[in-house]
Amino acid sequence: MKILANDGISKSGKDALEAAGFTVITEMVPQDQLANAINAEGYVGVLVRSATTVRKEVIDQCPNLKFIGRGGVGMDNIDVAYGREKGINVFNTPGSSSGSVAELVMAQLFDMVRSLYDSNRQMPTNGLAEFAALKKKYGKGAELRGKTLGIIGFGRIGREVASYALGCGMNVIAYDRVPSHTPVKLNISGFGSIDVNVEQVEFHDLLANADMITLHVPKQDGGRAILRAEELAMTKKGVYLVNTARGGSIDENALLDGLNSGHIAAAALDVFENEPTPRQDLLSHPRISLTPHVGAATLEAQDRIGLELADNIIAMFGVQA
Q: Each residue of 91-148: pLDDT tens digit?
A: 999 889 999 999 999 999 999 999 999 999 999 999 999 999 999 999 999 999 999 9
Instruction: Tell me what the mean pLDDT of segment 1-10 comes to.
Output: 96
**What pLDDT shows up at residue 135?**
97
Q: What DSSP state is assigned to residue 26?
A: -
Known catalytic membership, residue 246: yes
Please tell me which residue in 103, 275, 279, 287 is annotated as part of the active site: 275
What average pLDDT does the structure give for the chain?
95
Amino acid sitting at position 45: G
> So what's the pLDDT on residue 148?
98
Annotation says 293 is catalytic = yes
- Cβ proximity of 112 and 268 under 8 Å: yes
Q: What is the pLDDT of residue 74?
A: 80
Label residue 101 exposed, middle or buried (CB < 10 Å: 0-12, 13-18, 19+). Answer: buried
Q: How far apart are CA 205 and CA 85, in angstroms?
A: 40
- pLDDT 10s digits, 177-187: 998 888 999 98
Q: Which domains does the chain have, with CATH numbers?
A: 2-96+299-317 (3.40.50.720), 98-290 (3.40.50.720)
For residue range 211-238, what is the model confidence (pLDDT) as tens digits? 999 999 988 877 799 999 999 999 999 9
Say whether pLDDT at 321 is over 60: no
CA neighbor of 291 nearest in space, from 27, 79, 104, 131: 104
pLDDT given for residue 73 in this prediction: 82
Does residue 320 carry a pLDDT above 70?
no
Q: What percent of the chain has pLDDT over 90?
A: 90
pLDDT at 211: 98
Amino acid at 310: A
Identified catalytic residue from 49, 156, 159, 246: 246
Closest CA to 230 of 212, 199, 253, 211: 253
The tens digit of pLDDT for each residue in 48-74 reads 998 899 999 999 999 999 999 999 888
